Amino acid sequence: MRLTRLAKASAATPRLIAGAAREVARADRLGTIVAAAFQIVGATAALGVVAAAMLTFDALLEPEQAAIGLTPALLALAFMTALSGSVGALQTQQHRLLGERVSQRVWDRVLDTTARADLFTYESSGFATALERVQQNAVTRPFMVTTALLGLTGSLLGVVTMSAVLVGVEPLLVPILLAAGLPAVLLARWASRTEFAFAQRLTASFRRRTYLRQLLTQRPFAAELRAFDSTRPLRERHQTLNGEVTSEMRAQVRRRQLIAVLTTVGVAVALTGALLAIVELVNQGRIDLAEAGAAAIAVRLLSGQLNTLFTSVSGLIESAPFLADLHRFVASGPAAPPPGRKHPLTERIALHEVSFSYPQQDRPALNSVDIEIGAGEVVALVGENGSGKTTLAKIVAGLYEPTTGTRHWDGAAVPAPDIRASVSVIFQDFVRYQMTLRDNIVISDGDRSASEDAVTEAARRANVLGAVRELPHGLDTMLGRDLDEGTDLSGGQWQRVALARTLYRDTPLVVLDEPTAALDPRSEYELFADVRAVLGGRAALLISHRFSSTRLADRIYVLDGGRIVECGTHDELIARAGQYAELYSLQSSAYR
């Protein structure tokens, strides 16, 4: 079984390397050509060093028979040596630029995959783990692959030219040096397997450590951590993970050091054998001293080219599993959904017998739910935590597909992209974009021309204009302080900005998940005193724990354990004296 896996991996490696080469060329074709030209110049310069060295030895040892004088030979040697040395610096900078372009292309592929993934897929632990592994490993490989591919090209050219020189002097020297290649390649395969296994083992630890670092360094968590004095236990967890990572990395480093030593020993033995062979050939009179000197330089240069060749091959072999992992991740992503088409809501959106289950959960989150939202209606959804309210909201908004049941828009089954295009959503954990206030509003509808009137109208409906007048640059004020020295807002002001963002997206249905959680009582009253004017005729699904908000709804659904247990207006449900009346009484008693 293991031999079969190794055979499959060996067969796949050339294909993956060829794919990597295509990625490099597609990322920056001109940059690739320039980098390849530097490799050719470098190989030519190395050959020129050998030729100039031979001319120099001839001028020193046999001046009468030398093709050129000592001075021209030394000048040629100096020029070729300088050229050979300077090309390396040029190559390094060109590789740096090309590596960045390749990295951008790889990131584009990863971002394309994540953008195509629906919310259900994106929230699954398998997708999150694969994404983290790709981010930690495959995305960091492009520069290595770029350098290795270009190094492979240049070193192959160098090996061919230096081998041709040695064949002209003594063919026996070439196989002695090339003999070091087989063990080096085998050792590279060993290194590749150990490195990929190491990355797989530590992905979970890296994710946990990254999360702890976010908690300990990012502003949204700073106040609570200091209020609870939580930094110490979190630091202890971070140190524990550091210890686990260090232990695993120490073992991996020892393995890689052993592989490096074995590779170096193999190359050194081959180089020593070649130099001893040159000495023996001089003693036998098969080559003269000038040829021996040139051969010694060629052997040394060929050894360096072989070392670069083996290093490049090792880098490519090591990167192959990570490239395969990247390829699997990109291939596993769903096809890009077609653009959604916005539909008017003339009658209602209706869910019938809708059930929904999360993976590896015994109890369904929703069970045979029926709900209707008529055009222009405000429908409220209430229930205790964990009753399924947010899950149902995501199905209404087209973010989740029902496991069973139907979702009809004006009596027809509408594709999920069309539902999403026709619904605006504000979640309780809305995003605070570190952008200008204008960008925070218009980002909800990127395909729409951001007219000043539309932005101002959305801000007015959400009662943001008062805050705008106090900002130093109005709508163009940078918000947040994570990326820039911008202006931070209060929680309630941020929530109003999120509401303006929702209203700017001109759709016939709005889903409001706890839209007043951060608002003070006065602001909440002002918002819902004339909620229909705020919505501008849109239909709305309102999720709230505050019954002062939901009592204004046309219809209220009560969720319990994933089921609809009650439905009616506020007065009807109070008169029924059921679960809604009990929850309302518990909440209102706190104010009596």
Full DSSP string of 457-473: HHHHHTT-HHHHHHSTT
Same fold, 337-422+508-592 and 430-506: yes
Among 49, 237, 282, 42, CA closest to 153: 42
Q: Burial of 116 by CB count in 10 Å (0-12 exposed, 13-18 middle, 19+ buried)?
A: middle
Of 153 and 182, the one with more pLDDT: 153
**Three-state secondary structure along 137-182?**
CHHHCHHHHHHHHHHHHHHHHHHHHHHHHHHHHCCCHHHHHHCCHH
Task: Quickly state the pLDDT bin for 251 (edges 50, 70, 90).
Answer: confident
Task: For residues 95 and 101, give the distance between their C-alpha atoms in angstroms, rounded to a whole number.
Answer: 10
Q: Which residues contact 123 (CB under 8 A, 6 or more apart)?
A: none
Query: What pLDDT is recorded for position 189?
Result: 67
Q: Residue 1: what residue type?
A: M
Q: Which of 16-20, 90-94, 377-381 has the highest mean pLDDT?
A: 377-381
More confident residue, 414 or 264: 414
Mean pLDDT of all residues in 393-410: 93
Please tell me the CATH code under which domain 337-422+508-592 is placed: 3.40.50.300
pLDDT band at 1 (very low <50, low <70, confident <90, very high): very low
Report the range of poorest mean pLDDT among 154-168, 391-405, 494-508: 154-168
Residue 543: strand, helix, or coil:
strand
340 against 260, higher pLDDT? 340
Using the predicted structure, report yes or no on whether residue 180 has a pLDDT greater than 60: no
Tell me the per-residue pLDDT of 444-455, one tens digit each, with 9 for 90 and over.
887 777 788 889
3-state DSSP call for residue 565?
strand
Q: Could you name the CATH architecture of 12-332?
A: Up-down Bundle (1.20)
Kindly state the DSSP code that residue 530 receives in the 8-state scheme.
Answer: T
Backbone angles phi, psi at 518, to 5 degrees: -105, 5
Residue 560 vs residue 124, higher pLDDT? 560
- Number of residues assigned to the chain: 592
Give pLDDT, residue 225. 75
| Angle between helices 289-332 and 142-169 in degrees, nearest 10 | 150
Question: Is residue 17 scored above 80 in pLDDT?
Answer: no
152-155 long-range Cβ contacts below 8 angstroms, 24+ apart: 152/309, 152/312, 152/313, 152/316, 153/36, 153/39, 154/38, 154/39, 154/40, 154/42, 154/43, 154/91, 154/308, 155/305, 155/306, 155/308, 155/309, 155/312
Asked if 463 contacts 526 with a C-beta cutoff of 8 angstroms, the reply is yes
Distance of alpha carbon 183 from alpha carbon 314, whole angstroms: 11
Write down the mean pLDDT value for the chain: 79
The token pair at 350 is: 């209706």
pLDDT-derived band at 5, boundaries 50, 70, 90? very low
* Tokens (6 digits) for 167: 């064949």
Q: Which fold has domain 430-506?
A: Rossmann fold (3.40.50)
The whole-number average pLDDT for the span 189-200 is 74
What are the structural domain ranges in the chain? 12-332, 337-422+508-592, 430-506
